[in-house]
Structure 1
Amino acid sequence: MVEAELVLGPSSEAAGGTGRPQRFKIKRVSASQQIHDALRERIVSLEFVPGQSLSRNEIADDYGVSQTPVRDAMLKLEEDGLLLVQPQSKTEVTRIDIAHARETQFLRLSVELEVTRRLASDPQADRLEPIRSILAAQEVALQRADLDDFARLDRQFHGALYDAVGVPALWALVRARSGHIDRLRNLNLPDPGKPANILDYHARILDSIAAGDVLATEQAVRGHLSGTLATVEQIMARYPAYF
């Protein structure tokens, strides 16, 4: 990752009265990281389906870059378990790994129970307001039947819970491991009643937190996060080529 210095203009206030510019280090996301993130989203959203071959040349042309950042991005996606890279042969999207999905769900449930327990133990209204705004936007997305926006707001809702207790890096960790279970969720999301069920659980989680009810919060989180894996056999039966 490349670091650069951001130079502010001269200001006696900004520079503590010295008149000298202050310098702050900022980080720029590398080309390989941007391509990794873009390809990951296309895999998780099922635009690139399990078993599909990906061409490094075509990806490089699509994004207007050399093959080097594409190669690096693909190797990172292989570490994530989303690509199988066979040197001098082919690169293909992996099948959905149910064991990996269950492991990630265990990790997420363990962390999210503690995150929401802390929020319910000290339900400050100002910490919950951003989460309420996301929930309201998600209701609108459901009314529009916009599942892409609904899924994006779903991720934002949970990320905001972690932000509210000051552990956003843990959400990033969970997200980095969630490629397989996220693909499962995207197969499950169009099922009749599934988006409404998600929205209902989000409301229950938030209401329980606001009421300071730790037990009800835990029950809502457990019910919510177990939903997709509870129906995994039906999902596999409908999409056998993905597994």
Structure 2
Amino acid sequence: MASDTGRDAVKVPGGARGDGAAIRVYDELRREIISFERAPGSVLSRATLEKQYAVSQTPIREALQMLDQDGLVQVFPQSRTVVSRIDVQQLNETHFLRVAVEVEVVWRLAASPREDVVARARAILQMQKALMNDTDQPELFQDLDRSFHQTLFDAVGVGTIQKMLARRLGHLLRCQKLDLPSQGKMAMIVADHEAILNAIASGDQTAAAEAVRRHLSGTINRVDALRAAHPDFFTDGKTWPVLTWAETGSEE
């Protein structure tokens, strides 16, 4: 299944690829942030992370730098590192980019429908159908969702673009995590995926594009409601003031 971490695209500042320890810490912290095991605004102590993952300062620093690039943490030098709130501005910008790219993907697929691609995507869809009433496995449902979209990207030879996009989807994935338990949300996703595949299989480019736009806008259209329900989780792009170590009492 496709990973939401975008591991293949991970690079630390300066162009060097992160080493195995840094990638491991990055993957785990990203998963915990997206699942809200580490809530927005919570402080990440480097000393504590070093003990938790049994690694030195360097992998922790590189992992936090990568998460900072993803927009999932804010690193205040000589002060603290905190889990970012869901940035509504970044969320809208990422959504704009994602829609533009995925519309082009399905447009190309519908122009020359391939039975093998549709069959692979339908197999994933069937697994989602089996889970759409199971609220105890939202992570597995989301994994299948990412696999569905990755299958379409791979089919037109732009799978790497999906992995690059994944690095910017952290805010959206957290919104989806909040929205997924909503009544009928999983069934709506399944219905959207089915509409996308039916349009591709029939060669209807316009219907495929419209289905993707509708599908990708579901959570975005509920951001105001999600924000009202979880006001402490969101921001309009403003950052916390930079405090000194003495003021925060936190350790880096």
Output the CA distance in 1 between the equivalents of 2:233 and 2:131: 27
Distance in 2 (alpha carbons) for counterparts of 1:46 and 1:215:
37
Aligned to 1:102: 92
Q: Residue 34 of structure 1: CA displacement?
A: 2.2
Q: Cα offset for 1:168?
A: 0.7
Amino acid at match of 2:225: Q
| 8 Å contact from structure 2 (residues 192, 211) kept in 1 | yes
Aligned counterparts, 1:75-154, within 5 A: 75-145=65-135, 146-154=137-145
Q: Which has the higher strand share?
A: 1
TM-aligned CA distance change 1:175 to 1:28, over 3 Å: closer
Q: Distance in 2 between matches of 1:28 and 1:238?
A: 37
Alpha-carbon shift at residue 154 of structure 1 (Å): 0.8
Question: Are 1:225 and 2:216 matched, yes or no?
Answer: yes
CA contact (8 A) 1:50 1:93 kept: yes
The match for 1:208 among 173, 187, 199 is 199
Counterpart position of 1:189: 180
In the alignment, structure 1 residue 51 sits paired with structure 2 residue 41? yes
**Is this contact kept in 1: 2:106–2:200, CA < 8 A?**
yes
Residue ranges of structure 1 left out of the alignment (5+ in a row): 2-26
3-state SS of paired residue (1:53): coil
**CA displacement at 1:110 relative to structure 2:** 0.4
TM-score between the two structures when normalised by the length of structure 2 = 0.82
Amino-acid identity (%): 43
**How do 1:170-189 residues align onto structure 2 when only pairs under 5 Å count?**
170-189=161-180
Give 1:158's aligned residue. Answer: 149
Q: Alignment length, in residue pairs?
A: 218
* Residue segments in structure 2 that go unaligned for 5+ positions in a row: 1-6, 8-16, 235-252
Q: Which moved more, 1:118-127 or 1:86-95?
A: 86-95
SS at match of 2:113: coil
Q: When the two structures are superposed, what TM-score results if normalisation uses the length of structure 1?
A: 0.85
Q: Which residue of 2 aligns with 1:242?
A: 233
Q: Cα 1:29–1:161, aligned 2, differ >3 Å: closer, same or farther?
A: farther
Which amino acid letter does the alignment assign opposite residue 108 of structure 1? R
Displacement of 1:143 in angstroms is: 3.8
Q: Which protein has greater RCO, CA pairs closer than 8 Å, 6+ apart?
A: 2
How far the C-alpha of 1:185 sits from its partner, in A, is: 1.3
